Amino acid sequence: MSYLEAVPAIRRIDTDRGDLFAVDIVGKVNPADAENLFGLLEAAYALHPQIDVLVRLTDFEDTQWAEISPGTFEQGRDAALRHVRRCASVGGPDWSGYLRGELPEATELRHFPADREAEAWEWLGASPRATT
């Protein structure tokens, strides 16, 4: 199956805060998914110069980092450095130790186990909106 045929691994989560960017990452992240994620983040930055981020990892398998364009990755990282205030990751592996070395001290970063997702939403002062 090609990247164009695969179900997207990155899915937006609608929230009750305009300046909170929330996504669910399901399964394996391929380069097309990463490009999509960086594009969605750029749109969020255009609307809100400073944002909070929630990343929920559901049945996370892997990310093909080596296949993502280095330029795309660097642009995404540099933009996050300028725009992200707080970031909560829920479930999956805890990457906070690695990310702390990549983000400025002013960026707050916390990992929550999947069974404590409600605490992540509370920490960010937000809620997911129910889908119909």
Encode pLDDT of 66-100 as tens digits: 777 788 778 888 888 899 999 999 998 777 766 66
Q: Is residue 110 part of a domain?
A: yes
Given a contact cutoff of 8 angstroms between Cβ atoms, the answer to whether 128 and 14 are in contact is yes
What residue numbers bound the domain in which 74 lies? Answer: 10-124
The CATH number of whichever domain residue 16 belongs to comes to: 3.30.750
Number of domains in the chain: 1
Q: Is residue 129 part of a domain?
A: no
Q: Is residue 117 part of a domain?
A: yes
The pTM for the full model equals 0.85
Encode pLDDT of 29-77 as tens digits: 888 888 888 899 999 999 999 999 999 988 877 676 677 778 877 888 8
**Does the pLDDT of residue 28 top 70, yes or no?**
yes
Higher pLDDT, 93 or 20: 20
- Say which residues have a Cβ less than 8 Å from residue 74's Cβ, sequence separation at least 6: none
Token pair of 100 as six digits: 């702390």
